Copies of this chain bind each other. A is one copy, B any other.
Amino acid sequence: MISVEEALERIQQHATPRASRLMQATESLGCVLAADIQSDVDSPPHDKALMDGYAVVATDIEPGVELSIREEVTAGDVPTKRVAPGTATRIMTGAPIPDGADAVVMVERTELIGGDESVVRINSDNVKSGQNIMPRGQSIRSGDVVLRTGRTIRPIEMGVLAECGATEISVYPRPSVAILSTGNELVAPDTRPKAGQIRNSNGPMLEALAQRAGGTAVNLGVGRDERDDLEQLVRSGLREDVLVLSGGVSAGVLDLVPEVLAANGVEQVFHKVHLKPGKPVWFGIKSDAKGDKLVFGLPGNPVSSLVCFELFVRPALGSLAGQDFSSIERRTAHLATRHSRYSDRPTYFPARLFECAGQLQVEPLAWKGSADLRTLADANCLALFPPSDSAFAEGDAIEVFLL
């Protein structure tokens, strides 16, 4: 049985970014750039007023000087007249500076005089060349690389792309993730279970986890423990980048899953990992020139499924999408209470993380075992208890994984 770290290494080897493709920038939030973005414009595109006021010749100004107003320029306008000594142009924030002017005096330091408002008195001294002007190209020059390959598109990057005219961009697409829950006992959530049946809760949970991890999820529903049915669903699933199965990987007689996968060209990379819950987790690949298809077989009970998804599937999805292969966010916290469930395997236990007197504390929940999804829903983290043959004491430092 391999360790969590070894399992992650083997997954990482096969989780390479998918082929990049062109995408509308407006659709790309959260995607990773697969090519540098160059600007096709200077920003600002002209020497630009940073204040409402008057564009003047700096050397022309002494306190009380009166200037004849040539014209008014607002953002979106183009100045038509040159500013010469003795004259000024009324200008609004963002508007282009007229030829001849080299400073803007803010409106609060000026006064209109004369009945027809054709003359302005400047009540400012010490006007410097360049004052209240942002020079053309100061932020971006045409041809500059403004965003590099590998950058994740956040809202700010959406703004930069728009500014630079990059409406269609090369990105690593979101990986597609097929979700297949297996088990004869499972019925759809909108069905009333009969004797011996339970509803498929893993499917909707895994679908949401895949979405949250940046994938596009395709929920294939329930596969029964019958070869033909499973085979057809597995083939559908293998059209996607990733196939996540739940159930059918432990030792039961009807656990056909590994067999059906093998028959469809999926090679096992590992089966069983030294952790609790989630020991029976299975990982395999179907070799593909465009990037291996990844297949995860998660244990059927929901808590094991969640733990294995967060530990193993999430970083793989990130990697396929061009991000770092990085695992779930973790913190160190102090045990708020004694914890006496210990194991020879590293154990991920549903818990609540909270702050108390400036210190992160973690309290394991009264969890009734791996089918107890309800208690898991009260958790905001998983506390990782290392293998131990004795209880953990209040105050012990424990690593936690945020949910």
Contacts and interface: CB of A to CB of B under 8 A. Distances in A.
Contact of A160 (B198, B207, B373): B373
A156 B379 CA distance: 9
Interface in A165-208: 165, 167, 183-186, 189-190, 192-193, 195-208
Interface string A282-303: 0000000000000000001110
A150 interface: no
A62 interface: no
Contacts of A164: 199
Given A95-B196, A139-B372, A159-B306, 8 more contacts: A43-B373, A52-B250, A52-B251, A77-B184, A92-B254, A107-B251, A159-B201, A159-B302
A46 B193 CA distance: 12
Contacts of A74: 184, 225, 252-254
A335 to B, nearest CB: 21
A10 B42 CA distance: 40
Contact of A374 (B40, B77, B160, B372): B160
Interface residues of A, number: 89
Contacts of A78: 195-196
A372 B140 CA distance: 8
Given A45-B198, A371-B44, A183 B75 contact: yes
Contacts of A260: none
A209 interface: yes
Contact of A154 (B190, B192, B208): B208
Interface in A39-65: 40-41, 43-46, 48, 50, 52
Contact of A155 (B43, B52, B185, B306): B306
Interface of A: 25-26, 29, 40-41, 43-46, 48, 50, 52, 72, 74-78, 92-96, 107, 134, 138-140, 146-147, 154-165, 167, 183-186, 189-190, 192-193, 195-209, 211-212, 225, 250-254, 300-302, 306, 368-369, 371-377, 379, 403
B95 A162 contact: no
Contacts of A203: 162
Contacts of A107: 251
A67 to B, nearest CB: 19
Contacts of A93: 250, 252, 300
A403 to B, nearest CB: 7
A189 B162 contact: yes
Nearest to A376: B156
B368 A76 contact: no
